[in-house]
Amino acid sequence: MKTKDYIFIKRFDSREGTFEYQTISVIDGEPKFNLIKTYTPTAGDKIYIFPDSDVPRFKIKGFCDRYNVTMSKYKESANILIADPSTLTDDLWYRERWDYFVSKDYFINFIKGSTRVGDLRYVQLLQDIANNPQTEVIIDSSPKYALETNGLNGYRISLVQPEEDDDKVVPNCKLQEDYCWIETDEQKQKIAYIESTVIYHRDALLTILNEDVVIDAEMYQGLKNMFESSDQADHRIAMEGMANSDYLKSALYLLFLFEDYRMKIYNSSTKHHVNFKSLCKFFDLRPGDRLTLDEITQKLRDKNVLDLNNLNILLELATEEIKDSADMDSFRVTKVEPSPEILAIAEYTTAKNNPVITPTEDNLQTL
């Protein structure tokens, strides 16, 4: 993970004319780790699960017995490490929004032009900015506003952002709407550890733990009937069935249930159960979230399960939805098609999951 060190102006006291600042390491791009998403258990594996990974523990014993593997209390003694990326990276960096990357030369000249030579309040700041290798200084929105309205010793800063339709404007800053940064050695050490260590995504283990139960069209209808019941106990059983299924193989119908019964799911205490929380995290959902057909399609795409079978089911629903929304007397909708990109993805996923086997002497069966 590449970083660049910047001077960050955190605060400005317009009465005292003083700045509070620090050096931060800005991450280049969106920070992420590439955890391994498939795991094949091997007899003798010692598995360590990082804290707060939301893995249904009651399934672990059966899993260990089935594959002849063991769980380890310490990652140092394990050969398989498993983690939920959201908890693994918690507090590893900070996210900032609406800060300004200001020309270093402009900011230095502004301070020099607004203060007396040798003023001890600014000597170290000017020296640190000059010694920083970057061409910009980061200013938080609060001190930026104070410098524009109250100014430094009566001199107000004048920040000019680039304008797309006016190339005559000479900018001295740019607004950075979203970026991430780190500041402590502990953060840097943890990031270095994760980057240099083979870690499996929690979903790789969940897929194995839940592989015995697949929600198909028939089971989907049964779960719908439970949600339609007025008995909240039936809602709880339906949610437990969702949470204990194979998430990938059941993805389409799971997402349908999340959308169709979002309020019953939201109102059920079962949403706090570790198994259901695992399911929600898998699809990056919160109980009660709405899901459009586009969003369902995108989640299937993200999980690499948008095949032609799922696409055809979605296409049928999309056709009905578009027909219902077309409120016209003189025209009617006769055909709805998937976008070329989505169709290509579905065809690729189908071919990948159902490869054509070329007959050879090794795989031909003798009749």
Contact 169, 162 (CB under 8 A): yes
Both structure tokens of 248: 């990938």
175 strand-pairing partners: 100
State how far the alpha carbon of 251 is from the alpha carbons of 63, 134, 207, 216, 300, in Å: 22, 47, 11, 10, 7
Count of CB atoms situated within 10 Å of the CB of 338: 18
Count of CB atoms situated within 10 Å of the CB of 230: 6
Contact 282, 210 (CB under 8 A): no
**Residue 280: its pLDDT value, please?**
93
Kind of pairing between the strands at 179-182 and 94-96:
antiparallel
Both structure tokens of 208: 């194995």
**Residue 365: its pLDDT value, please?**
44
Where along the chain do its domains lie? 3-30+94-177, 210-291
Q: Write out pLDDT tens, residues 279-311.
A: 999 999 999 999 999 999 999 999 999 999 999
- Please tell me whether residue 321 adopts helix, strand or coil conformation: helix
Both structure tokens of 40: 């094949």
Please name the amino acid found at residue 109.
Answer: N
State how far the alpha carbon of 310 is from the alpha carbons of 135, 297, 303, 317, 336, in Å: 51, 9, 13, 11, 16
**Residue 366: its pLDDT value, please?**
37
Both structure tokens of 301: 């795409």
Percent of the chain with pLDDT over 90: 65
Alpha-carbon span 222 to 218, nearest angstrom: 7
**Residue 357: its pLDDT value, please?**
53
Alpha-carbon span 345 to 340, nearest angstrom: 9
Q: Write out pLDDT tens, residues 52-106.
A: 887 877 678 889 999 999 999 999 999 999 998 888 888 899 988 889 999 999 9
Residue of 216, 102, 249 whose CA lies nearest to 161: 102
**Residue 103: its pLDDT value, please?**
95
What is the residue-level pLDDT of the chain in tens, covering all 367 positions?
Answer: 889 999 999 999 999 999 999 999 999 988 888 899 899 999 999 999 998 887 877 678 889 999 999 999 999 999 999 998 888 888 899 988 889 999 999 999 999 999 999 899 999 999 999 999 999 999 999 999 999 999 999 999 999 988 766 667 788 988 887 899 998 999 999 999 999 999 999 889 988 888 878 899 988 999 999 999 998 888 988 898 899 888 999 999 999 999 999 999 999 999 998 889 989 999 999 999 999 999 999 999 999 999 999 999 999 999 888 888 877 777 777 788 999 999 999 999 999 877 655 555 554 443 3
H helix and E strand count, the chain: 15, 11
Neighbour-count burial of 340, counting CB atoms closer than 10 A to its CB (0-12 exposed, 13-18 middle, 19+ buried): exposed
State how far the alpha carbon of 219 is from the alpha carbons of 237, 250, 349, in Å: 13, 10, 24
Q: Taking the alpha carbons of 203, 252, 304, 290 in that order, is the dihedral positive or negative?
A: negative
Contact 129, 107 (CB under 8 A): yes
Long-range contacts of 220-224, Cβ-Cβ distance < 8 Å, separation of 24 or more: 220/253, 220/256, 220/257, 223/253, 223/257, 224/257, 224/260, 224/261
